[in-house]
Amino acid sequence: MKLNYKRLGLLLLAILLIVLSWLGIAVARSGLEVRSFQKEGVPLLYLAPQGASEIPGVLVAHGFAGSKQLMLGYGHVLAHAGYAVMLWDFDGHGANGTRLQRYELQQNLDVALQALLEQPQVDPSRLALLGHSMGSGIVMNAGIRERVSEADRRYRFAATIAVSPTGANVTPQSPQNLQLQVGSGEGGFVSNAERLLAQAGGENTSLATGQGRELVVIPGVEHITILFSDGSHQAALRWLDATFGRTNDSQYRDRRMAWYGLHLLGWLIGLAAISPLLNIPPLIATKIAPIRRWVGLIIAPLVATAGLVLLSQWFDLQNLGGVQVGGAVGVWFLIAGLTWLGLLARLPLPTLRAVGLGVLLFVILWIAFGALAQLIWLQWWLIPIRLRVWLPIAIACFPWFLAAGIMQENIGVGKRFLWWLGQSVVLIGGFVLTLNFLPQLGFMFLLLPLFPPLMGILSLVAGLLNQAWVYAIGSALFFGWLLAAGFPLSA
């Protein structure tokens, strides 16, 4: 089948959107010095205004299952406003291949601090800290313990910003100029932030004395989306400017996620334009009773949850496969997927062409989702130790996506919407149920906000290709990569 004018127009639109998104990211970096390097095995990312000198320095720490890329919104806003910013990957996270030892993470911050002080643009007498979730506790502790010297009573860091704060022994005196930020949708983090504020002496505007205290509730965001919130970025900038007595006329707002969305949309439009050229006939000819379709979807998570509970008697699920939580997620999908396939009682045989096109679909999804993610919010390039766990996780997830692909062959837009909604609800419900019985897997909750948009994108792909094996291979490889990239390496 040849491209007609309509599909050629779609392809040209896709190319335009992709090019525009890359230009948007380039503009966001314009005027900044951006350097990646390593020090003592810790991957570092440094941002500062080009040609700057004697400017304040800020250490920015990510949370559990995060990376230096996830904190780049703060990095860009602060660097455009005249700050030197150092970000890094904690042990077991992102591009850091050292397995996670929670009590050694403070050493990673010390390495990042030394690297920041070595930068010629930085004024070593004007330093601050910012951290999210797990990183918030680490920066608060650093703000409490770090002195200019052993004999000096002054604290090294003039301000500490704790986003979605965890815990630390804060007092009315330390850390200096403490700002607490929390999203209105973060539940228990809100009450924890209020407790920390009271422990630190309550609201205080005395930033000149170092005893400034503030709690900022960012409306309409939760634990992850707060990191992309302009309200959070600007609150942090305002607090630092007030601490250092700076006035700021920076007009920069971090819109990189919008460019990322445009990039993803461009690739999906491009796939829609070329999908007829692939000429993939569906493999399933016989119909499956609707009740069997839905019963399988609903029962599978219950069986998967029960299976994990049983396995927890013999295995350390939290560190299964050397990846914290990610290995358990893979096993959950394996049990659920096999259960769903068993209830369907349909397993079409693959063709060599379908396998090849499935791998091609993975490549397209990998580029569409990850090429810009590396520059915006996720360490997408897997280091060797993570590559070794990618395929086992992808294989474990494959049965689920094969069953989902079978269910989405030869159905209309309305039914496809129902399957997207059904999968999203069942996955969220299944993981919440799992956490009820296995609270040690608590960081599974990081996946919950991802399920609706991710399953929506993959359902759209299923509709374009209409072939279960192509969809299953591409989706499983892609989802396995996402899990391998996101969750920390365990000891």
Given the structure tokens 């797990």, which residue do they identify? 134
> Rounded to two decimals, what is the model's pTM?
0.94
List per-residue pLDDT tens for the chain, 491 residues long. Answer: 556 788 899 999 999 999 999 999 999 999 999 999 999 999 999 999 999 999 999 999 999 999 999 999 999 999 999 999 999 999 999 999 998 876 678 999 999 999 999 999 999 999 999 999 999 999 999 999 876 555 555 678 999 999 999 999 999 999 999 999 999 999 899 999 999 999 999 999 999 999 999 999 999 999 999 999 999 999 999 999 999 999 999 999 999 999 999 999 999 999 989 887 766 665 554 567 777 778 889 999 999 999 999 999 999 999 998 888 999 999 999 999 999 999 887 787 888 988 999 999 999 999 999 999 999 999 999 999 999 999 999 999 999 999 999 888 888 888 888 889 999 999 999 999 999 999 989 888 888 888 999 999 998 888 888 889 999 999 999 999 999 999 999 87
Sign of CA dihedral 319, 323, 325, 326: negative
Helix (H/G/I), strand (E/B), else coil: 341: helix
pLDDT 10s digits, 370-422: 999 999 999 999 999 999 999 999 999 999 999 999 888 888 888 888 889 99
Query: Strands 42-49, 32-39: parallel, antiparallel or unpaired by DSSP?
Result: antiparallel
In angstroms, the Cα distances linking 339 to 56, 395, 423 are 57, 15, 15
462 in Cβ contact with 388 (< 8 Å): no
Whether residue 95 contacts residue 89, with contact meaning beta carbons closer than 8 Å, is answered with: yes
| CA distance linking residue 251 with residue 236, whole number of Å | 15
Q: Which of 413, 400, 382 is nearest to 481 (CA)?
A: 382
